[in-house]
Structure 1
Amino acid sequence: MIQAVLFDLDGTLLDRDASVKKFIENQYDRLRNYLGHIPREKYMTRFIKLDSRGYVWKDKVYQQLVEEFDIVEIDWEYLLQDYISEFKHHCVPFPNLLSMLEEVKKNDLVLGMITNGFGQFQMDNIRALEIEKYFDAILVSETEGIKKPDPAIFVRALMRLNIAPSASVFVGDHPVNDILAAEQLGMKGIWKKDAQWDAFETDLVVTDLGELPTMIKNLDNESMMIESQSVKR
């Protein structure tokens, strides 16, 4: 029986690509006095490239931008602090996020989140999406001292929820850090499809968060059927 659903954040609940684009456009416009010598599209495109979908922290990104574009009136620390303080105002949820969480909670499931990243920064983004209230446990890698795909962070989340791996589902966009890591512990993995990983193949896939409640119900029915057959034997 499925008792818990755990989620990744970036690329799963938060549309990070759209959020980054929205933020970097705004940053350029707000700081045009310092960045105006750089063509707007060039600044945006280079930031997105260096950011590598969040896998490069922004200290390195801004150091590179300052050097490449000869930014002299403000330094990379200023730009980094601007990112830390302002990004939360540009968070874009994937479609059907809130309705999906509402429906899942109505089915008496406990919810957890495991996200890699910096503690306060990720919590700011979660609160900006107005989803913190739905979760019974939220684990951020910096705060926990371990990160996905280390199985220890999944085990810790399940312990806080008091749920066995076999009674839980993990939803994420990264094939290795999310799906394979969760499945190795005996959790069910549901892949939130991301075109970056088109070569990845797995049984449980959603392209829209709105598909999740029905998929989870179907998994629960299958699980109960298997348990019932085991008892009869």
Structure 2
Amino acid sequence: MIKAVLFDLDGTLLNRDASVKAFIEKQYHRLNVCLNHIPKDKYITRFIELDNRGYVWKDKVYQQLVNEFDITGLTWEELLQDCISEFKRSCVPFSNLISTLEELKNKGIVLGMITNGKGQFQMDNIKALDIQKYFKTILISEWEGTKKPEPQIFQIALDRLNVLPSESIFVGDHPEKDVKAAQKVGMKGVWKRDYQWDNVKADFIVEDLKELPLIVDKLSHHNIKSC
């Protein structure tokens, strides 16, 4: 019987690629007086490359941009602060996010979230998506002192939800940090397909969040079919 569904944030609930593109374009226009010597497309493309889908923290990204593009009138610290303050205004959800969370809640499923990242930055993005009310617990690595794929952060979440690993599934876009890490603690691992990986081994693979309630039904009725 499945009692809980836990989610990753970036690339799973938050369409991070679309959000980053929207943010950096707005930043270019907002700070154009200091950035207008750089072609807009070049600034956007280079930021996305350096950011490496969030695996490089923005302090390093902006230091590199300032050096490469000879940005004057703005320090990398000021660019970073602009990102911290403004990114939440560009958050783009994946399709069917709210309806899926509603459906799971209506089924009596308790919801949790585990995300790596900076505490307040991630919480601001969660609030921007207006989804915090659906989750009984939200764990952000900076605030917890441990991060995925460490088993401790999964166990903390399960304890707070008062569920067993066998009663829970974890949904994420990263094959190792989400899917395999969750499986190692005894949860079912659901991979939300991401174009940068192939041949991912997961208990289930979804293209769209709206597929999750059906998976919960299958598992709860012991009709377990793995991908």
TM range (shorter): over 0.9
In 2, the alpha carbon distance for the partners of 1:212 and 1:47 equals 33
Residue matched to 1:85:
85
Contact 1:179–1:191 (Cα < 8 Å) also in 2? yes
- Spell out the pairing of 1:161-176 with structure 2 (5 A cutoff): 161-176=161-176
RMSD (CA atoms)? 1.0
Runs of 4+ residues deviating >3 angstroms: none
State the Cα distance separating 1:215 from its structure 2 match. 1.3
Q: Using structure 1 for the length normalisation, give the TM-score.
A: 0.95
Contact 1:2–1:223 (Cα < 8 Å) also in 2? no
Counterpart secondary structure, 1:170:
strand
Q: 1:47-95 CA deviation, whole Å, 9 max, x = no partner? A: 0000000000000000000000000111000000000000000000000
Which stretch shifts more, 161-170 or 196-205? 196-205
- Spell out the pairing of 1:155-166 with structure 2 (5 A cutoff): 155-166=155-166
Residue matched to 1:65:
65
Query: CA, structure 1 residues 152+193, in 2 after alignment: closer, same or farther (shift >3 Å)?
Result: same
State the Cα distance separating 1:223 from its structure 2 match. 6.6
**Higher helix proportion, which one?**
1
In 2, the alpha carbon distance for the partners of 1:73 and 1:182 equals 46
Which stretch shifts more, 45-54 or 211-220? 211-220
Q: 1:159-200 CA deviation, whole Å, 9 max, x = no partner? A: 001100000000000000000000011100110000111232
Residue matched to 1:26:
26
Structure number with larger C-alpha Rg: 1
- Spell out the pairing of 1:39-54 with structure 2 (5 A cutoff): 39-54=39-54
The number of aligned residues is: 224
In 2, the alpha carbon distance for the partners of 1:219 and 1:10 equals 25
Counterpart secondary structure, 2:63:
helix
Unaligned runs of 5+ in 2: none
**Percent of pairs identical after alignment?**
66
Supply the AA of the counterpart residue of 1:140. I
Counterpart secondary structure, 1:195:
coil
Contact 2:62–2:76 (Cα < 8 Å) also in 1? yes
State the Cα distance separating 1:216 from its structure 2 match. 1.3
Contact 1:112–1:161 (Cα < 8 Å) also in 2? yes
Question: Are 1:216 and 2:209 matched, yes or no?
Answer: no
Q: Using structure 2 for the length normalisation, give the TM-score.
A: 0.97
Query: CA, structure 1 residues 179+41, in 2 after alignment: closer, same or farther (shift >3 Å)?
Result: same
Residue matched to 1:136:
136
Residue matched to 1:198:
198
